[in-house]
Amino acid sequence: MDRKFEITDAKGGAAFTVRVVTRAIHTEFAGMQEDGILKIRLKAAPAGDPAANQELVNFLADKLGVAVNKIEIVAGSDGRDKLISVEGISTAEVEEKLGNAVEASQHGEEE
């Protein structure tokens, strides 16, 4: 897929949208939607549950190589579509790190 992430510069970092799919066997990237929204599968359920939000934040922190406290769900914490803000990282870094991880997941490869 040639479409780039819809990532915008936020205060001292980057912001992007994710859609979570819950009750998955593994927490993992599930690809990119046509509209540029990153799809992530979570083991926790339901999507608006605090445990699911924490699982998402932990997963993104690991994939982006940032501290958990640098990631915030700024909108949509009670639903499937969430706006994520990551402090101290550029949009280019987010694209590179998540883009590589999404591509690997779509090809069934491990990072």
Global confidence as pTM: 0.83
Pick among 3.30.1200.10, 3.40.50.720, 3.40.1160.10, 3.30.365.10: CATH of 7-106: 3.30.1200.10
Grade residue 8 by pLDDT with cuts at 50, 70 and 90: low
84-94: average pLDDT: 89
The answer to whether the CB of 61 falls within 8 A of the CB of 68 is yes
**Letter for the amino acid at 101?**
A
Tell me what pLDDT residue 46 has.
87
| Residues 20, 8, 97, 34, CA torsion sign | positive
Question: Cβ distance 73 to 90 under 8 Å?
Answer: no
Question: 89 and 16 in contact (C-beta within 8 Å)?
Answer: no
What digits encode the pLDDT tens for the residues 49-79?
Answer: 999 999 999 999 999 999 999 999 999 999 9
Centre a 10 Å sphere on the Cβ of residue 54 and count the other Cβ atoms it contains.
14
Tokens at residue 77, please? Answer: 């914490």
Residues 96 and 45: their CA atoms lie apart, in Å, by: 29
As a whole-number percent, the residues of the chain with pLDDT over 90 amount to: 51
- CB within 8 A of 104, min separation 6: which ones? 110, 111
Residue spans per domain, the chain: 7-106
